[in-house]
Amino acid sequence: MSDFSLALNDEQQQIRDWTHGFAADVMRPAAHEWDEREEFPYPIVEEAAKIGLYGWEFLMNAMQDGSGL
């Protein structure tokens, strides 16, 4: 019988921490302002794309990962 675990491996934990850091440092401080202005936060999306969190490459990598994370 094989063991089944939902625990993240080291690489997944690093990605989680990296994306959480981006959200906490870049997105969260600006979210209220963008929400109040009812505008799409293009500068934040551009910043996410620069570091690889948004764009075709990110989407393709996410689709290839069978974990869905």
- pLDDT score, position 26: 95
Q: If pLDDT is split at 50, 70 and 90, which confidence band does 9 have? A: very high
CA distances from 10 to 4, 6, 15, 40 (A): 17, 13, 9, 33
Q: What is the tens place of the pLDDT at every residue in 16-68?
A: 999 999 999 999 999 999 999 999 999 998 899 888 888 777 667 766 766 65
- pLDDT score, position 3: 85
Would you list the domain boundaries of the chain? 41-69
Distance CA 30, CA 24 (A): 10
- pLDDT score, position 69: 56
